[in-house]
Structure 1
Amino acid sequence: MSENKIEELRKLLNVPEKGAEESASQQRSARFFNKPRCHDGYSPLAQLLQGGPEIGLGGDEKLTPGYPPVSLPQHDVVSNMQRADALKKAKKDNVFEYLELPGAVVHGNVLCDDVQNAKTWRHRGALDELEYNFGVDDASEDFAGVRLFEGTIAYVEKNFWTIVTSEGIAAKITKLLTVIYSGLVDSPETFSIEIMDPILVALPSRKCKNLQELDFYPTFCPTHPYYSDRIKQWPRAPYDRDHQSDDLLAWLVTAAPTPVFNYLKPFTEHQRNFPITNDHFRRVQGFELDDLDQAMSQGRLFILDYKDFHKETVANRNWDNFGARLHASIALFAIPQGSKQLKPIAIQPTQTPQKSGFWDDIGWFFLGIFGYGGNKNPPSKIITAGDNYWAWQMAKSSVTTMMSMAGVVDHLSTHVYLGPIPIAYFRNIPEFHPLRPLLDTHLMALVTNNHTGIFQVGADIGGTGNTYTNPFNGLLTGAIERLSGFSSETFVTSTLRRKNHYHFFEHSTPIDKYSDPVLAQIDDYPQHDDNGLMPIIREWVDGYLRLYYHSDYDVEKDTELQSFLYETNHYGQVKGFPSHARSIDKLVDIVSSIIYWMSVNHGFASLVSNMKIGSLGFYRDQPVDPNTPYSERDWLNVCPPMNVGAGLFFFSRIFTDLPEDWHRSLGKYPKGQFKHDPNVYPLLDVFQTSLKALDDEIREKNGRRRWAYDLRMPSTITVSPWN
């Protein structure tokens, strides 16, 4: 690229001249990476982009007065009038809304004080308060959160020459700036922009040419003085270098990216829509002398079947998504004789098997030319680990992309399912109640994040916009249409259907693999084996509640509590949530499950960040044939284009990673949260000590595993749905 072209880009981006003084907003701690980005900062892009946008995630916090002395309503003789006035106002401010998102209950007034006060980390004292909090300071006035754009800027810098020499790149950037300018001129009061659009428009939309281009993780210079602070906020998946390993696929189904659903089931009888045979079975190394039916009778076969997503995967296509599809795949796994390690055997990318016959073969031939199109039941052949290597890698991508999308659907569906709980909570539990110090932090940001993900259109550029907008164009729902094989409508429909599956107690009870002799055969099942959290949570809740509830009678006579439970059940329509409590033990169950749902069941691993296996689209319209001699180029073509991969990688950081271990993690409370009652601190110390011990136990276990699993680690589980 000529110097003139670089100067043209410099002017186009309105970049200050080299050596210009940094503004006050740029002179922050190096912890927030405002120094030159990648390598030593001497590349052309580092000179063009000094610092990037000052936008962070998770840094919002506020110093707030401490709680008043708390008590049950029947025992409050000091603040009863204030209490009554607060409840009267709360019931006006917090309302259940049934029409904005048909099929779900959302908060009808997200601008009210209760919601706005709950969207930030609110510490209630100086940093020398009694909370130990694992020695991590997240109440610092300097902390501005995780820098959202840094990964994308680092990627652009790493591939600078490839990107800027792409055809029409200056014109694409000019078009983006024109759209922004026109929007501001035409609608300055309501203008907003989807935060991925600059990436999707400015980066090339071609397929990646090699693995390096498909790798969107920053590679900062190790000699940089702040390298360790920078790189730890962009952790690579432990399996990043093993993305084509067959063992990885088997591991991923036992170390799921989301905690609630368990899609892997024992394969106990043949399925008409999945005609697996002994011939398929014996093509796989290690099973040449095995027998399919015998393995089934011995409980050594398992199936991963995404049939529940079939209607969504064949719904009306979004044709403006760079060609992404998703397939409701079926995959068979088996344990070899004399082993305890799960192995992948075969994959059928769709729910409809390809039939054998003259006309079927003709139809298959034309599918290979023209693709599936709008076929409502696209056929596919079974591909095994013993077939063409790249055909098998492509088949595995059909599974992992569906696994990734299922994780996103699961994640948002838990948000929607839990959404009515804080509405009833704010309506009925005033800050004088002992539940407030315990649960406020666990309910942090749920309402605002639900609203942003579903209703808020991208990032506001001008004005305030409407409180509620089209639910198919929120920060998450709108992004799905740009970054996946689902349309926004399909994604929302899938989310609402999924949230109806949940049961409050059933799905807050960890699954124990040892209760099923078939699952117990699998040597390491991290999703189940690592989950020792509910007993620890329950011990903490039990001790805390008994500070204030001295008998079952106290529970029954707590009118605020009973109203909260009743409204969550009847008005909030949270399936399985009890409408009342008559004992301390029952209340402990309820509150423990609330905390479990808001933290453990909110976990989300970083599979979707790994474009080699976890993108939200399978970029091929033609079926995969097990007998075709594909190449690595064919596999790269089913991976996302460069701009979509970068956009999805950047966007996924909003949902997955904490900036460091124990940052607002389970067990962490804001400074001063319990300073109104020193009796809480011995209980809190036991809680945090138990969590730390479990965390250490999982770390030790991960040290013996081929790939570490962190979804069940307390240090990386968020304390609430704040991200």
Structure 2
Amino acid sequence: MSDNKIEELRKLLNVPEKGAEEAAAQQRSARFFNKPRCHDGLSPIAQLLQGGPEVGLGGDEKLTPGYPPVSLPQHDTVSTDARARALVKARGDNTYEYLELPGAVVHGNVTCDDVQNAKIWRHRGALDELEYNFGVDDASEYFSGVRLFEGTIAYIEKNFWTIVTSEGIAAKISKLLTAVYSQWVDSPEVISIEIMDPILVLLPSRKCNNLQELDFYPTFCTTHPYYEDRIKQWPRAPYDRDHQSDDLVSWLVTATPTPVFNYLKPFTAHQSNFPITNEQFRRAPGFELDDLDQAMAQGRLFLLDFKDFHKETVAARNWDNWGARLHAGITLFAIPQGSKQLKTVAIQPTQTPQHSGFWEDIGWFFLGIFGYGGNKNPPSKIITAGDNYWAWQMAKSSVTTMLSMAGVVDHLSTHVYLGPIPIAYFRNITEYHPLRPLLDTHLMALVTNNHTGIFEVGATLAGQPATYGNPFNGLLTGAIERLSGFSSETFVMSTLRRKNHYHFFEHSTPVDKNSDPILAQIDDYPQHDDNKLMPIIREWVDGYLRLYYHSDADVVNDEELKMFLYETNHFGQVKGFPSRADTIEELVNIVSSIIYWMSVNHGFASLVSNMKIGSLGFYRDHPIDPNVGYTERDWLNVCPPMNVGAGLFFFSRIFTDLPEDWHRSLGKYPKGQFKHDPNVYPLLDVFQTSLKALDDEIREKNGRRRWSYDLRMPSTITVSPWN
């Protein structure tokens, strides 16, 4: 390409001039801040803590050669032999594995080149390659990635004396070292450790005494020269200071933590397992003069029912989880007369109601003494917003902790559901095919992250771990047992069950709330109202594909595409994925849905990071009685212990929150991704401009909301399942 052409395209796309940023972008190794960090407080170990581990997430990328000229296989007269050889190698390297995780299809050879080359951001050039990418250069040497340990280090410093003077601190250190030594004796060739274990062992396992101890977000000195760089990577939830608001639960079910989570349904008929009465309904503020049956007839009642999780919540638990459990509760929401705002009205923490009667009252008395234990149908009473304040706060915690866990199940289940797509893709789509530059970035890290989350235990201290380990002891699956009310086995089974719920097209089609007169009553439903992404994605994909597919016959005669679709359906067993495409329009639908699943349907909000409401365990084995005079101490006791809260907060950083806007976000591609074909860049400019406009629209809307919602913002949606 001539220099003049480059300059013309640079002006067309508003690409910044070359300068210091480009020079910095040439450095391709992992980048972490080496500048001193500053946390509030002057503990005796402050200097040690300032030099914490140089470990981050998302700071890696690699400079790699550009794509060859791409074409459909039936039109390729130059690379025919090379394509044939590539296909033979790819089909030998990439294999389907059905036995390592029964009920799911996983990659059978995660060490192969295709998988390893796809696990990090791969640049194919510098600024000359024309991608403007929203003005954010994630190849800068000044970008650090997400500092995984920083929050825990800051928390230890802030609560230093509380921690070091806790009972048995020396014994805790000895216990950790003994665990590592024992593993070395049992298996000296490989020594590994769960990354949360040092936190869980060394921090006190007592319940937090106040909100400050329950707050694990780091603080930094505002006068520090790098304050803005640090604090933006630890965004607090917009509702953090309002965690006890009665409106928050209703907000969380309309502004959900995962895109595929949608358990809120209209309440149109009375249920025997949720015997809500008109008297209870009228206890809620704003409904004193309302009528339950009238509200039901008018379509103003809604239910959040976790019945699908009942078996998991009463399954056998690991008793190393500090007493955590979860409840498959039922929550009633309502819209007041003359309003459009959803309100939280009543909560029954379990699926089984507590009935009145002599023997029932006796049973309830003993439950209050001995707890639920292994009861498979634990009864509970309905608690309303008009009952004891702290009983209501505890009841809400039983809902939000289950909401948080359901979000984690949803998140991993989409990983497992999508996992077979890159296997079929790498096996059948060569680097000479036009789908590779378009989809490579969207499939980045899916296979390796699935493998790490399910099969790889913690961090390896010595030796090389086996390719496949115990699926109940991976980075995520193993952590769940230590940090939640589920055992690892229960969590994996729940994930596989949820995976089977998805349909490729059905769940990549945004729900239009205005098409449902009942849902349309809710004034602000961010999960639906903000989702305008599919038309933007479709326009981009349609324009791109038509650069190479000029007729429906081109689609039908594309053998690489044909095998990719067939294998994903038949061998990958991705429910709803089509086994063939006969028209350009059908192909646009398929590719648009792939991108939608890998980005929009992969989002994950930071509810799990908020230990005041979003932990993965409810730490109370006894029922909640609306007539008991509970105190704040009782509410703090249902929150996680200090060590579990810190471990879960640190761990959640691996899965939530982009470190800054437009960092590897939807619409962003690595430098040089399309340099083999300059015809792509005008289309890319339209795509990015449309995404930026939608992002600005949501930001403006968030400015009018009580709490902002960022899960549907293009700037914070990851371009692929790299987290």
Aligned match of 2:676: 676
Is 2:485 the counterpart of 1:485? yes
Alignment partners' CA distance in 1, 2:30 and 2:259: 35
* Contact 2:169–2:202 (8 Å) recurs in 1: yes
Alignment partners' CA distance in 1, 2:588 and 2:31: 40
* Contact 1:118–1:445 (8 Å) recurs in 2: yes
Cα distance, 1:50–1:183 mapped onto 2, change above 3 Å: farther
Amino acid at match of 1:463: G
How big is the shift at 1:144? 4.4
Cα distance, 1:31–1:237 mapped onto 2, change above 3 Å: farther
Amino acid at match of 1:308: D
Aligned match of 2:711: 711
Amino acid at match of 2:271: Q
* Contact 1:603–1:718 (8 Å) recurs in 2: yes
How big is the shift at 1:375? 0.2
How big is the shift at 1:233? 0.2
How big is the shift at 1:29? 12
Question: Which piece of structure 1 moves more, 110-119 or 33-42?
Answer: 33-42
Alignment partners' CA distance in 1, 2:316 and 2:610: 27
Aligned match of 1:318: 318
How big is the shift at 1:129? 2.2
Alignment partners' CA distance in 2, 1:29 and 1:416: 30
Residue deviations 1:395-440 (CA, integer Å, cap 9, x gap): 0000000000000000000000000000000000000000000000
Amino acid at match of 1:362: I
Alignment partners' CA distance in 1, 2:244 and 2:41: 33
Alignment partners' CA distance in 2, 1:331 and 1:183: 45
Aligned match of 2:299: 299
Alignment partners' CA distance in 2, 1:238 and 1:376: 37
Is 2:611 the counterpart of 1:595? no
How big is the shift at 1:143? 4.0
How big is the shift at 1:284? 1.0
Alignment partners' CA distance in 1, 2:317 and 2:30: 45
Question: Which piece of structure 1 moves more, 473-482 or 54-63?
Answer: 54-63
Aligned match of 1:571: 571
Query: Counterparts of 1:201-216 in structure 2 under 5 Å?
Result: 201-216=201-216
Question: Which piece of structure 1 moves more, 352-361 or 179-188?
Answer: 179-188
Aligned match of 1:77: 77
Alignment partners' CA distance in 2, 1:314 and 1:80: 58
* Contact 2:214–2:612 (8 Å) recurs in 1: yes
Alignment partners' CA distance in 1, 2:655 and 2:283: 40
TM-score after normalising by structure 1: 0.95
Aligned match of 2:17: none
After superposition, the CA RMSD in angstroms is: 1.4
* Contact 1:351–1:379 (8 Å) recurs in 2: yes
Q: Counterpart of 2:415 in 1: which secondary structure?
A: helix
Amino acid at match of 2:401: T
Query: Counterparts of 1:356-505 in structure 2 under 5 Å?
Result: 356-505=356-505
Residue deviations 1:642-676 (CA, integer Å, cap 9, x gap): 00000000000000011100000000000000000
Alignment partners' CA distance in 1, 2:90 and 2:457: 28
* Contact 1:37–1:46 (8 Å) recurs in 2: no
Aligned match of 2:661: 661
* Contact 2:105–2:420 (8 Å) recurs in 1: yes
Aligned match of 2:13: none
Alignment partners' CA distance in 1, 2:33 and 2:41: 12
Aligned match of 2:99: 99
Alignment partners' CA distance in 1, 2:569 and 2:651: 34
Question: Which piece of structure 1 moves more, 584-593 or 174-183?
Answer: 174-183
How big is the shift at 1:59? 1.5
Aligned match of 1:12: none
Alignment partners' CA distance in 2, 1:214 and 1:284: 28
Alignment partners' CA distance in 1, 2:718 and 2:240: 23
Residue deviations 1:426-470 (CA, integer Å, cap 9, x gap): 000000000000000000000000000000001111111110011
Q: Counterpart of 1:454 in 2: which secondary structure?
A: helix
Query: Counterparts of 1:547-558 in structure 2 under 5 Å?
Result: 547-558=547-558
How big is the shift at 1:169? 1.2
* Contact 2:38–2:224 (8 Å) recurs in 1: no
Amino acid at match of 1:544: Y
Cα distance, 1:475–1:449 mapped onto 2, change above 3 Å: same
Amino acid at match of 1:280: Q
Question: Which piece of structure 1 moves more, 227-236 or 456-465?
Answer: 456-465
* Contact 1:38–1:158 (8 Å) recurs in 2: no
Aligned match of 1:176: 176
Alignment partners' CA distance in 2, 1:44 and 1:287: 55
Q: Counterpart of 1:331 in 2: which secondary structure?
A: strand
Alignment partners' CA distance in 1, 2:117 and 2:226: 34
* Contact 1:61–1:122 (8 Å) recurs in 2: yes
How big is the shift at 1:189? 2.1
Residue deviations 1:56-77 (CA, integer Å, cap 9, x gap): 1112211000000000000000
Amino acid at match of 1:324: A
Amino acid at match of 2:571: Y
Q: Counterpart of 2:539 in 1: which secondary structure?
A: helix
TM-score after normalising by structure 2: 0.95
Q: Counterpart of 1:210 in 2: which secondary structure?
A: coil
Query: Counterparts of 1:517-666 in structure 2 under 5 Å?
Result: 517-666=517-666
Aligned match of 1:25: none
Amino acid at match of 2:422: P
Aligned match of 2:5: none
Q: Percent identity?
A: 88
Query: Counterparts of 1:212-291 in structure 2 under 5 Å?
Result: 212-291=212-291
Cα distance, 1:141–1:184 mapped onto 2, change above 3 Å: farther
Alignment partners' CA distance in 1, 2:128 and 2:176: 49
Alignment partners' CA distance in 2, 1:626 and 1:31: 53
Gaps of 5+ in 1: 1-27
How big is the shift at 1:36? 4.5
Gaps of 5+ in 2: 1-27
Alignment partners' CA distance in 2, 1:546 and 1:580: 18
Cα distance, 1:494–1:215 mapped onto 2, change above 3 Å: same
Amino acid at match of 2:433: H
How big is the shift at 1:381? 0.2
* Contact 1:599–1:720 (8 Å) recurs in 2: yes
* Contact 1:444–1:721 (8 Å) recurs in 2: yes
Residue deviations 1:563-595 (CA, integer Å, cap 9, x gap): 000000000000000000000000000000000
Amino acid at match of 1:99: L
Question: Which piece of structure 1 moves more, 136-145 or 381-390?
Answer: 136-145
* Contact 2:40–2:158 (8 Å) recurs in 1: no
* Contact 1:29–1:142 (8 Å) recurs in 2: no
How big is the shift at 1:128? 3.6
How big is the shift at 1:85? 0.1
Q: Counterpart of 2:265 in 1: which secondary structure?
A: strand
Q: Counterpart of 2:676 in 1: which secondary structure?
A: coil
How big is the shift at 1:139? 1.8
How big is the shift at 1:283? 0.8
Q: Counterpart of 1:304 in 2: which secondary structure?
A: strand
How big is the shift at 1:41? 7.0
Q: Counterpart of 1:333 in 2: which secondary structure?
A: strand
Query: Counterparts of 1:50-199 in structure 2 under 5 Å?
Result: 50-141=50-141, 143-184=143-184, 186-199=186-199
Amino acid at match of 2:685: D
Aligned match of 1:14: none
How big is the shift at 1:183? 3.1
* Contact 2:57–2:147 (8 Å) recurs in 1: yes
Alignment partners' CA distance in 2, 1:676 and 1:129: 9
* Contact 1:665–1:718 (8 Å) recurs in 2: yes
Q: Counterpart of 2:156 in 1: which secondary structure?
A: helix
Cα distance, 1:30–1:129 mapped onto 2, change above 3 Å: closer
Alignment partners' CA distance in 1, 2:519 and 2:487: 35
Q: Counterpart of 2:346 in 1: which secondary structure?
A: strand
Amino acid at match of 1:542: D
Residue deviations 1:312-331 (CA, integer Å, cap 9, x gap): 00001211100000000100
How big is the shift at 1:160? 0.7
How big is the shift at 1:55? 1.1
